[in-house]
Amino acid sequence: MTFTVADFIERFERFAPPTLAVSGDPIGLHFGSRQQAISKILVTLDVRPEVVDEAIDLGVDFIFAHHPPIFRPASRLDQDQPQQAMYNKIIQHGIAVYAAHTNLDAVAGGMNDWLSDLYEIRDTEILNSHTAIPYYRVTTYVPTDDLAAVKAAIFASGITDSENYANVAYQHLGIGTFKPQAAAQPARGQLDQQEKVNEVAFSFVCSKFDLNRALATIQASHPYEEAVTDVVTLENMAKPVGIGRVGNLEKAMPLADYAQLIKEKSNLSGLRLVVADPDRPVKRVAVLGGAGEKYYQDALAKGADTFITGDVYYHTAHDMQAAGLNVIDPGHHFESICKPHLLDLFKNWQAEDGWPVEIFMSQLNTDPFSFV
């Protein structure tokens, strides 16, 4: 079995579709070809020269990164510049590189949910919603004798599954009528004869990202040349998606104690605090992986008393403080939590789908900052 970059991308983008990314974010394939066969995957937060060397030592041919390696367009490839020399080394060694940035931040069960779980934030909601996922009701009409095959194919795809329920569908009986024309190759009936067939209307709900796969699965498993299928937009089911989470601690605690909890859980040697009110206990917390200072107004609007995010700018810190918001800044590298979670996720998919690959997690710390 050959496993390609395209195979990986198809599976990953079912989990975190590109349309979940913030506008202008350079996610996706940065190096390599979708047709390229891959056998060893390395998961990393950053693509740095030392990470590329690690990949080469391991014989890796595919790097999955959270941070896009070409965040700003390169105007030249000067081999005397380490970052640009790294690009050349990636190409020379035939390594494909794929990045999932704000789509991984936004997706349910992604970066900000991992951080929320780590920092004991419960009953979370989205901090800033920038898009919504449309949902559809799909109905296909199947001869009663063939329903089991169509139903089995749809259920096996996982398209109908929700968070807490699997194999969710609805069906009711009816009668289908048709007259095959000269060029038809009917599975039922005779040419130029009006036919009546006992059929079942089989319905299920799926997201925009599963719709094409659902239609293809129906067509592949349906006995008819032309499977009659209705697709209806469910305006009441559009699911908001966005970056950051806000929720509550099970029990309020002093700011200093909560900052210490974050420091320990993220294995940090230090972090920065913006203290608006040292005596107010921490209860409702917003968290946004990476540099999220521009969303502090959303944290306030959602009732947060404390905001966890990285790379807080000096003057914005003043604004947050004046607005009464305590801020915990663990730096940008606290997003490295993604590495073990992605490793587990990919290994689960490997077990489910039989990927013929080895999967590694980068052992390097790419945080450029240290505390003295």
- Residue 325: name the closest of 303, 356, 294, 357 by CA: 303
Return the CATH number at 179: 3.30.70.120
Does residue 100 share a domain with residue 14?
yes
* Residue 173 and residue 144 share a domain: yes
Same domain as 95, residue 14: yes
User: Diameter of the chain by CA atoms?
Assistant: 87
Total domain count, the chain: 3
How large is the angle between the packed helices 338-353 and 111-118, nearest 10 degrees?
120
Please state, in angstroms and rounded to a whole number, the distance separating the CA atoms of residues 93 and 91: 5
Residue 369 lies in a domain: no
Task: Identify whether residues 153 and 222 lie together within a single domain.
Answer: yes
Please check if 120 is assigned to a binding site.
no
* 54 assigned ligand-binding residue: no
Residues 171 and 191 in one domain: yes
Identify the CATH number of the domain in which residue 303 sits.
3.40.1390.30
Asked, for residue 75, whether it belongs to a domain, the answer is yes
Q: Select from 186, 209, 239 the last residue of a domain.
A: 239
Q: What is the pLDDT of residues 268-279, one digit of tens each?
A: 999 999 999 999
Q: Collect the ranges in the chain with pLDDT lower than 70.
A: none
Same domain, 137 and 218: yes
- End-of-domain residue from the set 239, 267, 288: 239
* pLDDT in the model for residue 360: 99
Assigned domain for 356 exists: yes
Instruction: Give me the pLDDT at residue 269, please.
Output: 92
- Per-residue pLDDT tens for 6-43? 999 999 999 999 999 999 999 999 999 999 999 999 99
Is 341 labelled a binding residue?
A: no
40 within some domain: yes
142, two tokens:
């199947």
67 marked ligand binding residue: yes
Q: Which two tokens stand for residue 160?
A: 């109908």
The verdict on 184 and 101 lying in the same domain is no
Q: Is residue 183 part of a domain?
A: yes
Neighbouring C-alpha atoms within 13 Å toward the C-beta of 232 = 11
Give yes or no: residues 327 and 340 share one domain: no
Whether 117 maps to a domain, the answer reads no
pTM: 0.88
For 192-204, write each residue's pLDDT tens digit. 788 888 999 999 9
Q: Are the CB atoms for 266 and 330 separated by under 8 Å?
A: yes
Residue 318 known to bind ligand: no
Residues 157 and 179 in one domain: yes
Q: Tell me which residue range forms the domain holding 213.
A: 132-239
